[in-house]
Every structure is written in structure tokens, then in C-alpha cells.
Structure 1
Amino acid sequence: MKKILIFFFLSSFCFAQNNEKYDALNFSPELFFGQTFQPNSWFPKLKSHYMLGFSFEKNNNIFKNKWSNTINLSSTGVGLYFSSLGNQEVVGNAISILPFVEINLNKKESFSTKFGLGTSYFTTQYHPENNPLNTAVSTKLTWAFQTFVYYKFHLKNKRTLKIGAGYFHHSNGHTQLPNSGLNTALASVSTSFKLNKKQFKENHNLTTDFKKYKAFYAFRYGQGIQKFIDHESTVKAINAIEFKGGFFYKDILKFSAGITYNFYRHYYDYIKENEVDPYFERPILNASNIYLSIGVEALFGNIGIDWEGGLNVYKPFYKEHYILQDETLNNIYKLKKLFLGRLGLKLYVINTLKKPKNNFYIGAHIKSNLSQADFTELSIGFVHRIFK
């Protein structure tokens, strides 16, 4: 997770620096209050959740011109949040940093929605002897996900006041167990202060002329980390290779379909060490996973926000993994074995607005079985545009 934290600092830096031409740079303090839900029946009761946030956000004309015929992009930015989770002894406090995008939902720009993905630091974690009740957070660093809806009021002094409602989620991506995660419903109130204002001038290196569709193909190699079962002390690797193809839509969205191969080191070692039948004769094959996926990626200069959903074609040892976690083979098992998700950020070497024929990226993603975290992954990838 330390590598993930470094990645998000780099991504946040790119969000902050990717402002060659913008209308205004704003500073927005925000006060949140709400409730974190108990992840299971034995989890201690939590008091009200309070959070203080500070965001730096900008309106980028290049992005706005690109996105204007697709969605009404409002701003991009980075938020820093300080949370009191409602139980100092068990879950403590959290500090979060999240790059985000905000999108207007109507022509008057009074309604908007915000999506953020980043990382959080927790002051208190699970310990088998000193803090056994905290089954939600077992690592200092976790993933953090934010989605909010806002309504904007225009005040007489030309200032704006926003009220919001939304959801915050924390999970370590199965890098350590237990990992029930924390889910919080929140309401908020915020305002903004203009720190800077520049007049927009067209940058011909980042032209907004584009064809509607452009094809591409891409390769990815990923190195994931996963905790297998509760009483296993080690974290082991998952190796991933992906090939996919698709098309750029107006140079702001990437739609794709692909195939991915994963090799689970935990599965392989468990099969070999315990001579598990009928998997023992072909341990490499039975420790493998093949899945098909479709995806969409939103492009913001050097940053891409990436989502994939798919179907597992082959994952034979997942049944044993599920049973080892003391869970019964019910309908939820069938859904988790079949459906998967993948969410994360990509940091591109070349600004995507320059439409490079070849580009490289590093990425940080969390993969899930249905909605349950499977593993956290760092990856490197290559993208080739097909110009016609």
C-alpha cells in the first residue's frame, strides 16, 4: 500500500499541474457529518462521523471544450480530508487524499456530482490481541472512494454555497485480513475561494480538433498483492497479463474489451503444500484465472479514471478459497465466482490531449469479486492508437 500512496501523490501532483489553461483555481473548505455503518453484527457501535475537507479545484477550458458535447465537466482537483470515525479506541481517525472530477448535471449548473478515488491513512488498526474487534481496517493505508451529489446556491455577495450528500468507502483491497471495510453516508456544506484567475488562450499543441472515433489496442502487465485467508501471515503476488482493444470517443473516453490472465501465487503454494485433490496434478493451471472484460476510461490529460467489469471464464480454485474463508457455497458464491470488477487510476507519460500514437502508463487498481475486494495491483501498460 505504500507504493499505492506514492502513486496517488504523483497523480495528485499531475492533477494540480495539468492546468496550462484554466479559468480559475479555487480553494474549497467543506464540513461533513454522517454515520459509518457497522460492517458486521459484532462490530462496536459507532457514534456520528465528522469530517473536515479542503479541496483545490480548477476549471480547465481544454477539458471543458473536449467534454462539452458529452457531459458538462465542472472541475478537476484534489481533496484532503480529516475524519473522526465515531470510535477512537477501535477505529481511530483517518486522513485521506483523493483526486476527483466534478460533473454538472443540468444547464444551470446548480446540480453536480463528484467522483474521487485515492488513499487513506488510519491511526488505529486491527490487532488480534489489542484490538480484535476492528475487523474493518487491518492496515494503516487503504483505498478510499467518494461519490457525492451537490446543489449550489448563489449568494448575494457573488459567493456560492454548496450542500451535498454522498458516500465514502474504505478498503485495503485484500492486502491484509480481516478487511470488512468501512462505508459511510455523509451530508456536507461547503463554499469556495478563488485563488487565481487566468484568461484562456488556445494551446495548439493540445488542439480540440478530433475525429469522433479512433481505434486502439493495449497491453498491460500487473503485479498484485493479496492476503489469502485470516490465519495466513504472508502477502503473496498475483501476476497479470492483459490484452485489449477498443476505441477513443472524442478523445475523452476510451471504450474497450479484453482478455486477462492472472496467476495466484497463494493458490499455487496452497495446492502444492497440501497436495489438494483434484488440483495437485496441474497446480499452475488450477492457480490460474482467465476473464473477459469490458471497460470505460475517462481521460483528463495525464490522468485516466478506469473502470472494468467482466466475467470469469476460468478460476477453478476459487471454490476452495471461498470454503477456506468459512463461507457456504450459496448463490452469493456463484455471483462472486462469475462477476468481477476493477477500478483505479492511470498516470500517462504523455498528456493524452496531445493524441500520441504510442503512450505508456503506470496504474493502481483494486480488483473485486462482485463487490468484495480480491487484490490490489500496480501495473505498467502500453497503448497504441490506430490512425486511419
Structure 2
Amino acid sequence: MRKTILFVIALLIISNVLSSQNVDNLYYLSPEILVGKTLPANTDFPNTNLQTALFFSFGMYNLDNEQDWAVRLNYPKTGLSLAVIDFGNPDQVGQAITVMPFVEFSVFKKHSDNFNLNVGYGASYMNTQYDFEANPLNRAITTKVNWSFRSFLYYNVLKDKLTNWRLGLGYIHHSNGHTRLPNQGLNSLLASVSATINTSKVESVKPHKPKLEQKSETYTSSRFGLGYNTLSDSINTKKEVYTVAFEIGKVINKTFKFGGGFYARYYQHFYDYIKDEEALINSQYPNFKDNAFAYSTNYGVFGTAELLLGHFGVELDLGLNLYKPFYKLEWQITQGYRADSGNYVYADLDSYYKLKRTISSRLGVKYYLITNNKSPQHNLFLSAHINANLGQADFSEISLGYTYRFKN
């Protein structure tokens, strides 16, 4: 699963380079020094000193890119960042090596040309993990390979034709997507100083700004997903989550995609818990044994929004779980605690449980076989996503899908 996720990310990077081979893009290099604070992930989290990091980014300006997405989004920068991060406690929290594709947009342009928003989504190798005996206080990271997300706002301080000095302020998050527990995740707030070093004089290149037609296309899409998650601290092995989904919607100007649909999921962990007649089954939910498969499924509806950038897309789904009966057991198990007497106290089904049971979300990246700038009638995609219950990771997933566009 980890290798597959890294493979998908590599495809996204390669596709971005390949999609730009027919245009004369300008490239830049950007070394960046960051300092900040690793936020406590749990009660009694190890003390940390100042967090330090070194990022090195390779990017392109896309000023000569005449594809719809580049023109309509005002020529965002795209590229790849490599980083080494020290979390401020080498023994208990450790360091990370990060690989992260990114996209950077100009913001607040009505007021100033000096602000940019950089968003990255990739993976990190962490050299220090939670261990029940050797490192019990760090409940943030339990696996070596983790998802990573980065959002930074930059301000241009001093700029000439070849170098742009910038100050940055932002946030970095690392977690494993619920493939092993505990998974509190590592969150950091950081400030940075960076220099964008251009390979040629950017000021001499002006965007072509071709006249683009307004276009709206109806699409349908279906996908099959294979995911992995774990159930609890005590039942902590990875097992499969299978998903099938269908959606219909609109693609606007080859760049923006909006739609809605439904999904069906099957959780292997839920099924095995029922079939093995674990504690809560016999004591509170004996009726689940009558149809273990049905009580291990999940059905829901969702709305989706996707930003199409040539061969790849960045997608966010928000949904409603119409049927997820086992989640009440999952909540009681994962939110409960071990009493001083040694007995396990299961959590109550409160209003927060009802909210998390109802709202689902999904965030990830897609690689399309054919660039969306060609508006292909038939297209295939491979994607990597994190699925969540009200923002808390549920499972990590790789999907294979098909999209059909109706031609006007």
C-alpha cells in the first residue's frame, strides 16, 4: 500500500512535467530555511525544542503554458519540494524526509502582487515512531511512511530579475491515514526565509493570454477503490476496505469539476469483529451475527469538487453516510478507556458521535491517462485519497476509475 501511494505521487510529478513538454516554461530553484514549533499531539507528548527544516524546491512558472487550467488560474507555479525536517526532539519525535509536489497561486492581487499561497501534498519517511514500551508518549506517528500536507503564505520582500527573497508563514501536517494506531498526527506551525532563483529573466516573458472559449460538459464517472485501515489500539492490523462509487456532474472550462453521487463500502475489520464474536457483539449487538456482511457495509451520497490541472486533479468530497451501522461499535471501542480496575469502559453514543457517523469526507489526488485539456470523451484515472469521518482519518485508499464526457 505504501509503495503504491508513492507510485501514484511519482506519476503525478512525471505527468506534470510531461504535460509541459510542448511549452517553453521558465524554471526556478528555491532553497528555504524554516523554524517553528511542533504542536503537542496528545497529553504528555514529549517536550520539543525549536523545529527546524530545510526545503529545496524545483518549480516552473507556466507563463508560456496555453492550456486552459494555466490561463484561467492566472499561471500558477507547479513543482516538487524535497525536505529534511527535525521536530526538535531527536530521541522521541525524530526527523522526517519529505517529497511533496506543490502548486502555488498568486493571491490578493487586487491589493498587492507580493502574496502567494503554496499548497503541497505528498509523503514523508519518519525515522521515529510510537512504541508501547520504548516510546509510549509519542502517539502522533506509528508508521515509517506517512501522508504529508503543507500550506504556506509567502510575501515577496526583495525582488530583482533573477532572485526573489521571500518570507513565509504556514502549517505542515503528517499522518498515516488510519493504517495503524495510535495516529494523532504531527502538526507544526513554522516561519521561513527563502530565495527563488530563476534560471532566466522572468520579467522579460509575458503570458500570451489566449482567448478561451467558455465550455461546459456533462460527465459520469465510476471507480473501484482498495483501502486499508485498522480498528483500534488493541485490534491494530491493517485490513481491506473496498469501495465502489458512481457520480455525475459538470466539467467547466476544462478546469473545474463539480458533481455528486453515491458510494458503497465494505470493511473487512467490521466483518471479522462480528464473525469472531468479539466483546461488544455478544454483550450489546448479538443481532449483528444474523447478517455479518450487511452490518459491515457503508452506503452514502456525496458532493465533489475537483481542480483539473492537465493530467492530474486535486479532489475534495463531502458526503452523508446513510447507512453505517458498525460505526457505533467503532466509536464505543476507540473513544473508550481502560479504568484503574483494569476493565474497559466503552464510550457513550453522544451527539458528537452522531455528527461523525453522519458526515464523511475524502481528499486526494488523481492522475488521468489523457490530459483534461483535450476534453477526452473516455478517460481512465488512478488516484490516492484519505477518507475521513468528519475530518478524522478513516482509511487510506488507491482507486482506479473511468470517466465519460457527453459531447454537445
TM-score, reference length from structure 1: 0.93
Q: 1:252 offset after TM fit, Å?
A: 0.6
In structure 2, the partner of 1:34 is 36
- Kept in 2, the 8 Å contact 1:23–1:200? The answer is no
In structure 2, the partner of 1:337 is 357
Kindly provide the CA deviation profile for residues 20-53 of structure 1, in whole angstroms up to 9, marking residues without a partner as x.
Answer: 2143111111111111110111211122111110
**Is 1:352 equivalent to 2:352 in the alignment?**
no
Match of 2:276, SS state, is helix
**Is 1:298 equivalent to 2:280 in the alignment?**
no
**2:389 aligned to 361, 364, 369, which one?**
369
- Where do 1:108-127 residues align within 5 Å? 108-127=112-131
Q: 1:127 offset after TM fit, Å?
A: 1.8
**Is 1:75 equivalent to 2:84 in the alignment?**
no
**Is 1:259 equivalent to 2:262 in the alignment?**
yes
Q: 1:296 offset after TM fit, Å?
A: 0.9
Counterpart amino acid of 2:120?
Answer: G
In structure 1, the partner of 2:11 is 10
In structure 2, the partner of 1:241 is 244
Match of 2:288, SS state, is coil
Query: How many residues are matched?
Result: 384
In structure 2, the partner of 1:134 is 138
**2:287 aligned to 271, 274, 278, which one?**
278
Q: Which moved more, 1:1-10 or 1:179-188?
A: 1-10
Kindly provide the CA deviation profile for residues 199-257 of structure 1, in whole angstroms up to 9, marking residues without a partner as x.
Answer: 8999xxxx974443111000000000011111124211000000001111111111111
Q: 1:156 offset after TM fit, Å?
A: 5.1
The gaps in structure 1 that reach 5 residues or longer are: none
- Kept in 2, the 8 Å contact 1:217–1:384? The answer is yes
Counterpart amino acid of 2:303?
Answer: I
Inter-partner Cα distance in structure 2 for 1:296 and 1:239 = 22
- Kept in 1, the 8 Å contact 2:377–2:405? The answer is yes
Inter-partner Cα distance in structure 2 for 1:380 and 1:214 = 22
**1:287 aligned to 281, 285, 296, which one?**
296
In structure 1, the partner of 2:342 is none
Match of 1:72, SS state, is coil
Q: Structure 1 148/248 Cα, relative in aligned 2: closer, same or farther at 3 Å? A: same
Q: 1:64 offset after TM fit, Å?
A: 6.4
Counterpart amino acid of 1:119?
Answer: A
Counterpart amino acid of 1:51?
Answer: A
Q: Which moved more, 1:99-108 or 1:36-45?
A: 99-108
- Kept in 2, the 8 Å contact 1:16–1:78? The answer is no
- Kept in 1, the 8 Å contact 2:297–2:324? The answer is yes
- Kept in 1, the 8 Å contact 2:52–2:87? The answer is yes
Give the number of the structure whose alpha-carbon radius of gyration is greater.
2
Counterpart amino acid of 1:306?
Answer: E
Q: Which moved more, 1:150-159 or 1:280-289?
A: 150-159
Inter-partner Cα distance in structure 1 for 2:60 and 2:316 = 24
TM-score, reference length from structure 2: 0.89
In structure 2, the partner of 1:60 is 62
Match of 1:130, SS state, is coil
- Kept in 2, the 8 Å contact 1:238–1:262? The answer is yes
- Kept in 2, the 8 Å contact 1:137–1:178? The answer is yes
In structure 2, the partner of 1:91 is 93
In structure 2, the partner of 1:147 is 151
Inter-partner Cα distance in structure 1 for 2:199 and 2:19 = 16
Superposed CA RMSD in Å reads 2.2
Q: 1:109 offset after TM fit, Å?
A: 2.7
Q: Structure 1 2/56 Cα, relative in aligned 2: closer, same or farther at 3 Å? A: same
Counterpart amino acid of 2:153?
Answer: V
Q: 1:71 offset after TM fit, Å?
A: 3.8
Match of 1:180, SS state, is coil
- Kept in 2, the 8 Å contact 1:363–1:378? The answer is yes
Q: Which moved more, 1:128-137 or 1:192-201?
A: 192-201
Q: 1:197 offset after TM fit, Å?
A: 7.6
Match of 2:287, SS state, is coil
Q: 1:62 offset after TM fit, Å?
A: 6.4
- Kept in 2, the 8 Å contact 1:22–1:58? The answer is no
